[in-house]
Homo-oligomer: A and B are copies of this chain.
């Protein structure tokens, strides 16, 4: 397997585009994205578990109920959530896709991201559909990736090439994250495309299993969004023998999918609202898978630890504290904690108590942009990784007045 260029257009038969339609005032910010497959594709999705759900989620669910889709349309700047006419507007976005791109409205995945509770005007979208479709290109991934961004500071796209039964296949994706990131069964918007031939059932199975160790293990601020959605389209244009059961081919696909999703997870966490650092908590030696995941997630979610990491402060007591309230069954007296970055690794806690360490060395390690928090529970065979970011002045600034 190797990383390749092309993002959501890396797989065969996918075009994408992104334009500024006017939902966002700033004219240099694209706010409408379209992804189209040349062939009808197997489709799978996972959605937010928040009881408050964006209107597009209901429409997308209905459209891919048959396991098939051919296009994704997504706007940023307005979440189309908690509005009286949300469903109607989401359906109109599908109808516009049918009218301008010639794709059945029932084969459209529709998504929105941005502020909650303000009516989404269909006019700007309708007025730019012609441009959006005419700009569709097999090299359009980065335009689409730009158009789905809200407070994201970098575009998030990746792709890999791999083999199934001797046939070269590709899978790629784009994502938007930033704030309100604490997914439960799904995350913010992630659109993945592949040219693998795979049945809708197995595609859904692969995705549902994948998110347990990828998007469900990120947190920026503990807030589970109302609009989280991850979708995968797989149009079969690679020419592999269709995957219709578990086995070697399915595992190869899952591995490639996980490479793409973990890459996007790291990008989303590292570009969390206001973040200056990516935090990666690796828990080993847990009694159960649940204890491993719960422990890693609890550390990543601690506001106090996040603030300490912003200050490059080796305050490992906050790691212990977060493990202690994780709700998992842990033996506190067995826990070891290390901090690690490209500048080295340092043991700060052994058997649940502090050890002498060089504050200077710890500072040097923690001043880097990617920090690993290594927790060994020394109590079993399970491990898990969770991703987060530091808590900074900019997080407060961005969210103190997001709507203006």
Which residues from chain A sit less than 8 Å from chain B, CB to CB? 49-53, 79, 81-84, 115-119, 179-180, 182, 184, 221-226, 301-304, 307-308, 310-311, 313, 315-318, 320-325, 330, 332, 349, 352-354, 391-393, 395-404
Can you name 9 extra interface pairs (CB under 8 A) apart from A51-B325, A308-B399?
A: A51-B323, A51-B330, A52-B324, A117-B353, A179-B304, A221-B303, A226-B324, A307-B395, A313-B403
B53, B179, B308: the one contacting A400 at CB < 8 Å is B308
Residues of B within 8 A of A179 (CB): 304
Report Cα–Cα, A402/B318, bound state, in Å: 11
Report Cα–Cα, A146/B298, bound state, in Å: 32
CB of B222 within 8 A of CB of A222, answer yes
B225, B318, B402: the one contacting A116 at CB < 8 Å is B318
CB of B324 within 8 A of CB of A354, answer no
Give the number of times this chain occurs in the complex, counting copies: 2
Report Cα–Cα, A50/B116, bound state, in Å: 35
From residue A225, how far is it (CB to closest CB) to chain B in Å?
7
CB of B325 within 8 A of CB of A223, answer yes
Residues of B within 8 A of A303 (CB): 221-223, 303, 395, 399
Q: List 26 A-B contacts (CB under 8 A).
A: A51-B330, A52-B320, A52-B352, A53-B324, A79-B317, A82-B317, A82-B354, A83-B354, A115-B315, A117-B349, A222-B302, A223-B302, A223-B303, A223-B322, A224-B324, A225-B321, A226-B317, A303-B395, A304-B399, A310-B400, A313-B400, A315-B402, A315-B403, A391-B396, A393-B393, A393-B397
From residue A325, how far is it (CB to closest CB) to chain B in Å?
4
Report Cα–Cα, A254/B91, bound state, in Å: 56
Assuming the contacts A116-B317, A117-B320, A223-B302, asked whether A50 and B325 have C-beta atoms less than 8 A apart, the reply is yes
Assuming the contacts A83-B354, A396-B310, asked whether A117 and B317 have C-beta atoms less than 8 A apart, the reply is yes
Residues of B within 8 A of A315 (CB): 115-116, 402-403
Residues of B within 8 A of A84 (CB): 353
Report Cα–Cα, A162/B347, bound state, in Å: 55
